[in-house]
Structure 1
Amino acid sequence: MTSPVPSPHRIRVGSAPDSWGVWFPDDPLQVPWRRFLDEVAEAGYEWIELGPHGYLPGDPAVLARETARRGLKVSAGTVFTSLHHGPAVWEKTWAHVADIAALTRAMGAEHLVVIPSFWRDDKTGRVLEPRTLTPAQWRDLTVQTERLGREVRERYGLRIVVHPHADTHIDSEENVARFLDATDPGLVSLCLDTGHYAYCGGDSVKLIETYGERIGYLHLKQVDPAVLARVVADELPFGPAVGRGVMCEPPAGVPDLEPVLKAAAALNVDLFAIVEQDMYPCPPEKPFPIAERTRRFLRSCGV
């Protein structure tokens, strides 16, 4: 008797302001939020993330009306944290998290994407703190992240998914495994960003197969390996690397997304797979055609 093939339809595909070159709440180089909503819907996506807090309307009634009339739903909000600095930053962290968590919950979403702070400035490359955490900082990072997961769940009914990210302390295979091994699976899940993980040398399929129960969310993107090699050689920070086009339109880069999606489907759990092609800054007419092509490509992968 053969085993049933996992259904890919438990993977819900969406996109995010990031794929429209949006990194900040307000920036003249970014498309207006109404244009983003219009185009993401027209490109064939049903789910979106909130993006940087303040970009989309912060009034839940307004945002619910604007998304509903375009047939869109919200999958997650995003917060930035520096939890390796320990209890001293908790109050500041919670002040940042609370408003975003409240809006996320009001929009019917269940996930909060948590991005660690950068160890170097993502524009200038100025080193802000050591690249490697001390053992004490690792303990603070894991303990405070568990605290965040508990508080967010109890107060807002949300599940945190921590996003390994270039130029942060949760980046490589070694550091991601260390983080997962030291945190409670009941409180902390992972947002696997295929592009960032490849950028930092990781294998997304291997991670899914090894830590499948910890994968709570996906960001889909690819890296141009030729550009990445130059970025590494030149020791570029992430912002200028994006400016060089290190994150590219699928299926031109790595990792191959079809095996990633197949491995994710084999988990047989409900997962969001949100397209994020970092493109800040970009011409306003550039994102939409890419978004349409990417949605067609993902359909060819079965999602």
Structure 2
Amino acid sequence: MFDKNKVKLGIAPIAWTNDDLPDLGKENTFEQCVSEMALAGYTGSEVGNKYPRDPEMLKKALQLRGMEICNQWFSCYLITKPFEEVEKEFRAQLTFLKEMGAKIIGASEQSHSVQGQQDVPVFGHKYVMNDEEWDIFCSGMNRLGKIAKEEYGISLTFHHHMGTVVQNPDEVERMMENTDPAYVSLLYDTGHFTYCGADPLEMVRKYAGRIRHVHLKDIRPEIVEKVKREKLSFLDGVRLGAFTIPGDGCIDFDPIFKVLEDTGYEGYMLVEAEQDPAKANPLEYAIRARRFIAEKTGL
């Protein structure tokens, strides 16, 4: 069982309002989202597209509900934009997160990404970096991580993601081997590892020492198989329900939680299961996920 003083539970707003598919959950307000998160028993949230960008306004809304911001997605374009341009946007987001009291920023390399392209199949069409691009990417991540840690007191965690240049186990391994553990950690996502065909248990065992943030999502394998067979996009898969909450799909979370517990994981574990809220009521699924995690971890 996890130590409640060291491990906290959060949930992502993407179940209420989808950043990449704005029509999903367009009827759900920010206030409804954070109120239902708190009602379901979570204390942390990431930043969604309807969240106020004014720190004081956002802080007040969250404090009223006993919640806090624990992370925010950051889109890097290290291999297609000048570093200085990426750094400027990165610093702006770090400033916001520091004001919010967050300790984590979750970066994803979005150069050539197909995750947001609705007409591009997610399987078989991802971009593969060459050696020069790998060098630019890894050195850039080290520079960003050093800025985050030394100037803002925030840890950079890298989010491996379907449709991006760091998706598969070999790509994650190359990134981890060529970045500095002092500045670059892993955002471990059970769903994205499973989606690409990796074993999430093997991955958590391999990288436990460098995991600083955890996304808990489950997979409906029959939907992933349909996405692969019919050459559908990542976003098509989201609409169809490829992702779901922990305990509602094919992933065995017991040994994953055991590894995280045994290796002394500290920080947030965050339910992040983007679905169509018209099909999967966000509050209902948030409560179900919360009960499942409590049963398995004692949190």
Give the alignment's TM-score, normalised by structure 1: 0.90
Q: Structure 2: which 5+ residue stretches go unaligned? A: none
1:138 is aligned with what amino acid? W
Of 124-133 and 6-15, deviating more is 124-133
Match of 1:124 in 2: 118
Match of 1:3 in 2: none
Secondary structure of residue in 2 paired with 1:75: strand
Deviation sequence 1:18-70 (CA, Å, 0-9, x none) = 12233159768432111111111111111111234xx2111111111110011
Q: CA deviation at 1:130?
A: 6.0
Structure 1 residue 275 corresponds to structure 2 residue 260: no
The 5 A counterparts of 1:1-303 are: 7-9=2-4, 10-23=6-19, 29-30=25-26, 31-52=28-49, 55-85=50-80, 88-117=81-110, 119-120=113-114, 122-126=116-120, 131-279=127-275, 281-283=276-278, 286-302=281-297, 303=299
Give the alignment's TM-score, normalised by structure 2: 0.91
Of 167-176 and 125-134, deviating more is 125-134
What is the distance in 2 between the residues matched to 1:236 and 1:184?
A: 36
Tell me if the contact between 2:10 and 2:268 (Cα under 8 Å) persists in the aligned partners. Answer: yes
Tell me if the contact between 1:79 and 1:112 (Cα under 8 Å) persists in the aligned partners. Answer: yes
What is the distance in 1 between the residues matched to 2:115 and 2:168?
A: 19
Secondary structure of residue in 1 paired with 2:106: strand
Q: CA deviation at 1:126?
A: 4.0
CA RMSD of aligned residues (A): 2.2
Q: Against the structure 1 CA distance between its residues 202 and 28, is the aligned structure 2 distance closer, same or farther, given a 3 Å change threshold?
A: closer
Tell me if the contact between 2:113 and 2:164 (Cα under 8 Å) persists in the aligned partners. Answer: yes
2:213 is aligned with what amino acid? Y
Q: Against the structure 1 CA distance between its residues 221 and 25, is the aligned structure 2 distance closer, same or farther, given a 3 Å change threshold?
A: closer
Q: Structure 1: which 5+ residue stretches go unaligned? A: 1-5
Q: CA deviation at 1:282?
A: 3.0
What is the distance in 2 between the residues matched to 1:259 and 1:121?
A: 29
Q: Against the structure 1 CA distance between its residues 225 and 45, is the aligned structure 2 distance closer, same or farther, given a 3 Å change threshold?
A: same
Secondary structure of residue in 1 paired with 2:197: coil
Secondary structure of residue in 1 paired with 2:294: helix
Tell me if the contact between 1:190 and 1:215 (Cα under 8 Å) persists in the aligned partners. Answer: yes
What is the distance in 1 between the residues matched to 2:18 and 2:196?
A: 22
Secondary structure of residue in 1 paired with 2:156: strand
Q: CA deviation at 1:237?
A: 1.8
Tell me if the contact between 1:191 and 1:216 (Cα under 8 Å) persists in the aligned partners. Answer: yes
Tell me if the contact between 1:115 and 1:165 (Cα under 8 Å) persists in the aligned partners. Answer: yes
What is the distance in 2 between the residues matched to 1:143 and 1:211?
A: 20
Tell me if the contact between 2:128 and 2:165 (Cα under 8 Å) persists in the aligned partners. Answer: yes
1:182 is aligned with what amino acid? N
Corresponding residue pairs, total: 293
Percent identical residues? 25
Tell me if the contact between 1:152 and 1:160 (Cα under 8 Å) persists in the aligned partners. Answer: yes
